[in-house]
A and B are shown apart, each in its own frame.
Chain A
Amino acid sequence: MARNYFDLFELPAQFDIDPKELAARHRERIRVWHPDRFAQGTSEERRRAVAMSADLNDGLKVLRDPVSRARHLLSLRGISTDEETDTNMDGAFLMEQMVWRERLEEGAARPEELTALAAEVAESRDAKESELARVLGDERATDLGRARVLVRELQFLERFTRELDCATAEAL
């Protein structure tokens, strides 16, 4: 079973968290657990310090990003967002992806076209993240099915954004 990172930072298991509070909690814990604090310690202390610090760093990373935070929340409730075992996606969403992909390929030589596309993708991501915050906001969140769809779509968009960034960097 995966570790519960909300517990690690003593935060409520919900989508809405204060990023500053998360960072502060990570900082105060890593100050205590960092292996440098146990350089003169026993082997057991040093092993635990490495493992705990690694968990804290991974936990910060998972909870800081909205999509991975949502994935983590869903996995804590036994819902997998794995793409490999489930390729079933919304038709309209896939259609939009295909159109965007074509524009990405055609835009390779035109930076301004890529910039426009990036703005559109960012807008779509923002809308989905806001909706995710609505359906997954607090501990009573119930529409987990919708949250799962949103997470999967956002993962697609994340990957597409990375490719788009690469293409933009090359075109410039």
Chain B
Amino acid sequence: MALLQISEPGQSPDPHSRKFVAGIDLGTTNSLIATVRQGEVVVLADARGDVLLPSVVRFHADGQVTVGRAAQQAEIEDPLNTIASAKRLMGRGCADVVDCPYRLACGIEGMVRIETAAGVKTPVEVSAQILAALKARLEETLGGPLSGAVITVPAYFDEAQRQATKDAARLAGVEVLRLLNEPTAAAVAYGLDRNPEGLYCVYDLGGGTFDVSLLRLSEGVFEVLATGGDAALGGDDMDAAVVALWKARGAKAESPEEIRRLLRAARDARERLTLETEVAVDVAPIYVGLLSRADLDAAIDPLIDRTLAACRRVLKDGSVRIADIGEVVLVGGATRTPRVRERVGALFRKTPLHDIDPDRVVAMGAARQADLLAGNAGAADMLLLDVIPLSLGIEIMGGLTEKIIPRNSPIPASRAQDFTTYKDGQGALAIHVVQGERDLVAECRSLARFELRGIPPMVAGAARIRVTFQVDADGLLNVSAQETTSGVESRVTVRPSFGLSDAEIERMLQDSIASAESDAAARALRELQVEADRMIEAVGAAIAADADLLAPGEHDIIAARIAALKEACGGEDPKRIREETAALDRASAGFAARRMDAGLERAMKGRSVTEFR
């Protein structure tokens, strides 16, 4: 039975003043949700007391969906309709996927699709089911709606994978406050706990992804110096390596059920070898034998080698020597493997920290960040400065990549570069946005293509086309292109080639669980109303705080727009709400700008007192 909670005298939480926000670790193997209550991070458990929700979703022929442990239990009896490790498929095309245990619906452009008894599903829909289950858990536990969440992603996730994660949240009806890199989240949990200063290296080996990040902590600022990793390397690959070993020793597995059983046994044996030195494996009639820790070590060493190579590269990128690193932090279930700890310790010449549960630490850090972003009183005063993991660029003549924002650039980032036409009278320019480190476009990930049209006729090389990349704090990209001599402009929010189109998302919203109670139009209306409310609240708070910065008459103009927007919100016309929201935004733009400038001035003054003493 749950214990009744009693708050400290004078700290009685007012249920109306506090928003329920959460940190969500959407993992390959397990997912978690955590929140901050009375200053403490709480990882929420289900009715059985489990905090880990297995990231497994089963689609039944009758349209029913089960998520978590119940789905995991059906993995062997119903392997094709029970989807595990969908995170590995997020933002991926068919050509990217090898060795997938499901029936993939290929021949369709864009993201991988899985054929199930309930129809064709995308990894985004699978992830949305997991997010919806976590959202429901929080709402049942706290007795109120979830108003926003920080969702973690591997630092090494590319644009398509990040966008896919955001799309999944949208389908699940979860408002994303921020996408946060997993190692950064882990550093927050450790950093706030210990409050140390100096260089941290976070080694995060999860079920399906590997990240390594180098951070500098000082005065509440978490600054990522460099990040690296492999978006397709983790505990799942260790299981596959063990299965490969068993096959070499005579195991015969052909059907999906048999392969699943072997993989399950491999994970089980691997976990038991954390404490034991040899375990008996019985997957009769497929395979029976012994697995020693030495066997396991030999099988996974090549995988660990890859992680250590990434560590060395990150050190080089961050211009940091091993001796300068203060602490090495282990994150992710796969770092429980003794061989991983041993080899990471050997590389960094120190014993890595793992005293915060490596399964929970990411969700805990994300919950802290959510608390801060929600503006909750008493939230930790900290600032996270993160970087982009992979270079962003565009294709130039000869199939080559021109990097515009190099990897490990701090975000938000913005960079413009000028290009020119290659033929006389060229009236349009195709812009192909790519991500990756290689010089050849073919070896990078294609993100998006768009065209700048209407360039006036000029001789080759005379046009000046300025391409501007802007990466926001979620690591998501916006690209615009302008011909500067004529002013012709084109602007796109990058929807990755391996992503979903807006139309697809609309369709999914219609079929999705989150909209079961209402149709897509009502859902869209509600999204607009929420945004409008947020806007009204923000402008109201701004006026209350800085009324002295209002220009004469400005108050009345803004108040009129607020009233108009409130009225629009009471109605059902989405177009009007959108227009009135934009009108309020315009009407308050000058005021917002003055407030921001004043905020900066105040901050500078605060500094001069301490700095020029």
Binding site for B on A (CB under 8 A): 27-36, 39-45, 48-55, 57-58, 60-61
Please indicate the chain B residues that have their CB under 8 angstroms from the CB of A27 in the complex.
Answer: 221
Please indicate the chain B residues that have their CB under 8 angstroms from the CB of A45 in the complex.
Answer: 538, 592, 595-596
B15 in the interface, Cβ–Cβ < 8 Å? no
B542 in the interface, Cβ–Cβ < 8 Å? yes
Please indicate the chain A residues that have their CB under 8 angstroms from the CB of B108 in the complex.
Answer: none
B563 in the interface, Cβ–Cβ < 8 Å? no
- Does A48 contact B409, Cβ atoms closer than 8 Å? no
A-B contact pairs, 19 of them (CB 8 A): A27-B221, A31-B221, A31-B603, A32-B603, A36-B178, A39-B177, A39-B178, A39-B373, A39-B375, A42-B588, A42-B592, A44-B585, A44-B588, A50-B412, A51-B412, A51-B414, A54-B470, A57-B409, A57-B411
Please indicate the chain A residues that have their CB under 8 angstroms from the CB of B409 in the complex.
Answer: 57, 61
Q: Find residues 432-485 in chain B having any chain A CB closer than 8 Å to their own CB.
A: 470-473
Extra 12 A-B pairs, beta carbons < 8 Å, given A29-B600, A34-B385, A58-B415: A29-B603, A35-B473, A36-B369, A39-B375, A40-B541, A41-B542, A42-B535, A42-B538, A42-B585, A42-B588, A44-B585, A48-B596
Question: With A39-B177, A41-B538 given, is the CB distance from A58 to B596 under 8 Å?
Answer: no
Which residue of B473, B541, B593 contacts A48 across the interface (Cβ within 8 Å)?
B593
- Does A44 contact B412, Cβ atoms closer than 8 Å? no
Binding site for A on B (CB under 8 A): 177-178, 221, 369, 372-375, 383-385, 409-415, 470-473, 534-535, 537-539, 541-542, 581, 585, 588-589, 592-593, 595-596, 599-600, 603-604, 607
A22 and B415 alpha carbons, distance in the complex (Å): 20
A3 and B587 alpha carbons, distance in the complex (Å): 27
Which residue of A30, A39, A50, A55 contacts B385 across the interface (Cβ within 8 Å)?
A30
Q: Report B36 CB to chain A, min CB distance, Å.
A: 15
- Does A40 contact B372, Cβ atoms closer than 8 Å? no
Closest A-B pairs by Cβ, 8 of them: A54-B414, A39-B373, A54-B412, A35-B473, A57-B410, A44-B589, A53-B412, A44-B592
- Does B542 contact A39, Cβ atoms closer than 8 Å? no
- Does B592 contact A57, Cβ atoms closer than 8 Å? no
- Does B383 contact A30, Cβ atoms closer than 8 Å? yes
A27 and B216 alpha carbons, distance in the complex (Å): 13
Please indicate the chain B residues that have their CB under 8 angstroms from the CB of A36 in the complex.
Answer: 178, 369, 372-373, 383-384, 473
Which residue of B414, B592, B593 contacts A55 across the interface (Cβ within 8 Å)?
B414
- Does A32 contact B600, Cβ atoms closer than 8 Å? yes
Please indicate the chain B residues that have their CB under 8 angstroms from the CB of A50 in the complex.
Answer: 412, 470, 472-473
A27 and B222 alpha carbons, distance in the complex (Å): 12
Q: Report A68 CB to chain B, min CB distance, Å.
A: 12
Most buried by B among A31, A45, A52: A45
Please indicate the chain A residues that have their CB under 8 angstroms from the CB of B589 in the complex.
Answer: 44
- Does A42 contact B542, Cβ atoms closer than 8 Å? yes
A51 and B588 alpha carbons, distance in the complex (Å): 18
Q: Report B450 CB to chain A, min CB distance, Å.
A: 21
Please indicate the chain B residues that have their CB under 8 angstroms from the CB of A32 in the complex.
Answer: 599-600, 603
- Does B375 contact A35, Cβ atoms closer than 8 Å? no
- Does A42 contact B539, Cβ atoms closer than 8 Å? yes
Which residue of the partner chain B has the closest CB to A53? B412
Report the tally of A-B residue pairs with Cβ distances under 8 A: 95
Q: Report A19 CB to chain B, min CB distance, Å.
A: 14
- Does B221 contact A35, Cβ atoms closer than 8 Å? no
Question: With A31-B383, A40-B375 given, is the CB distance from A54 to B588 under 8 Å?
Answer: no
Please indicate the chain B residues that have their CB under 8 angstroms from the CB of A30 in the complex.
Answer: 383, 385
A27 and B585 alpha carbons, distance in the complex (Å): 29
A51 and B468 alpha carbons, distance in the complex (Å): 12
- Does A28 contact B592, Cβ atoms closer than 8 Å? no
Most buried by A among B588, B592, B593, B595: B592
A119 and B36 alpha carbons, distance in the complex (Å): 54
Please indicate the chain A residues that have their CB under 8 angstroms from the CB of B539 in the complex.
Answer: 42
- Does A54 contact B471, Cβ atoms closer than 8 Å? yes
A45 and B539 alpha carbons, distance in the complex (Å): 10
Please indicate the chain A residues that have their CB under 8 angstroms from the CB of B471 in the complex.
Answer: 54
Which residue of the partner chain B has the closest CB to A42? B538
Q: Report A167 CB to chain B, min CB distance, Å.
A: 15
Q: Report A137 CB to chain B, min CB distance, Å.
A: 25
A163 and B581 alpha carbons, distance in the complex (Å): 52
Q: Report B66 CB to chain A, min CB distance, Å.
A: 35
Q: Report A79 CB to chain B, min CB distance, Å.
A: 16
Q: Report A146 CB to chain B, min CB distance, Å.
A: 25
A27 and B385 alpha carbons, distance in the complex (Å): 10
Q: Report A89 CB to chain B, min CB distance, Å.
A: 20
A36 and B369 alpha carbons, distance in the complex (Å): 9
Please indicate the chain A residues that have their CB under 8 angstroms from the CB of B535 in the complex.
Answer: 42-43
A30 and B595 alpha carbons, distance in the complex (Å): 16
A49 and B473 alpha carbons, distance in the complex (Å): 10
Please indicate the chain B residues that have their CB under 8 angstroms from the CB of A51 in the complex.
Answer: 412, 414, 470
- Does A34 contact B470, Cβ atoms closer than 8 Å? no
Which residue of A34, A40, A60 contacts B473 across the interface (Cβ within 8 Å)?
A34
- Does B538 contact A35, Cβ atoms closer than 8 Å? no
- Does B413 contact A57, Cβ atoms closer than 8 Å? yes
A145 and B115 alpha carbons, distance in the complex (Å): 66
Please indicate the chain B residues that have their CB under 8 angstroms from the CB of A53 in the complex.
Answer: 412, 473
A119 and B297 alpha carbons, distance in the complex (Å): 41
Q: Report B236 CB to chain A, min CB distance, Å.
A: 30
Which residue of the partner chain B has the closest CB to A51? B414
A168 and B413 alpha carbons, distance in the complex (Å): 31
A156 and B549 alpha carbons, distance in the complex (Å): 51
Which residue of the partner chain B has the closest CB to A57? B410
Please indicate the chain B residues that have their CB under 8 angstroms from the CB of A61 in the complex.
Answer: 409
- Does A44 contact B411, Cβ atoms closer than 8 Å? no
Which residue of the partner chain A has the closest CB to B473? A35
Please indicate the chain B residues that have their CB under 8 angstroms from the CB of A58 in the complex.
Answer: 413-415
Q: Report A169 CB to chain B, min CB distance, Å.
A: 9
- Does A40 contact B374, Cβ atoms closer than 8 Å? yes
Please indicate the chain B residues that have their CB under 8 angstroms from the CB of A34 in the complex.
Answer: 383, 385, 473
A138 and B600 alpha carbons, distance in the complex (Å): 28
A41 and B383 alpha carbons, distance in the complex (Å): 17
Which residue of the partner chain B has the closest CB to A34? B383
A66 and B374 alpha carbons, distance in the complex (Å): 40
Please indicate the chain B residues that have their CB under 8 angstroms from the CB of A57 in the complex.
Answer: 409-414
Please indicate the chain B residues that have their CB under 8 angstroms from the CB of A43 in the complex.
Answer: 535, 581, 585
Q: Report B400 CB to chain A, min CB distance, Å.
A: 14
Most buried by B among A39, A52, A53, A61: A39
Please indicate the chain A residues that have their CB under 8 angstroms from the CB of B384 in the complex.
Answer: 36
A61 and B542 alpha carbons, distance in the complex (Å): 33
